[in-house]
Amino acid sequence: MTLMEQAMQASAHIRERISCSPRLGIILGSGLGALAQRVVDPVAIAYDEIPHFHSSTVEGHAGRLVAGSLQGIDVVVLQGRLHYYEGLSMDQVTFPVRCLKMLGLDSLIVTNAAGSLNPDFQPGELMLIRDHIKMVTDSPLRGPNIDAFGPRFNDMSDPYTSEIRALAKSCGDELGIDLKEGVYCYMPGPSYETASEVRMLGLLGGDAVGMSTVPEVIVASHASMKVLGLSCITNMGTGLLDQPLHHEEIIKVGEQVRLRFITLLESIIRNWPAD
| Active site residue ranges | 30, 61, 83, 85-86, 113, 211-212, 235, 247
User: Strand 126-134 relative to strand 180-186: parallel, antiparallel, unpaired?
Assistant: parallel
CA 175 to centroid of chain Cα atoms: 22
Question: How deeply is 4 buried, as exposed, middle or buried, from its count of CB atoms within 10 A (0-12, 13-18, 19+)?
Answer: middle
Specify whether the CB–CB gap between 44 and 66 falls below 8 A: yes
User: d(Cα 41, Cα 34) in Å, to the nearest integer?
Assistant: 16
User: d(Cα 219, Cα 70) in Å, to the nearest integer?
Assistant: 24
User: Strand 107-116 relative to strand 24-28: parallel, antiparallel, unpaired?
Assistant: parallel
Q: What are the CA-CA distances from residue 266 to residues 29, 168, 199 (Å)?
A: 16, 11, 35
Would you give the end-to-end CA distance of the chain in angstroms?
33
Concatenated DSSP letters of 200-227: HHHHTT-SEEESSSHHHHHHHHHTT-EE
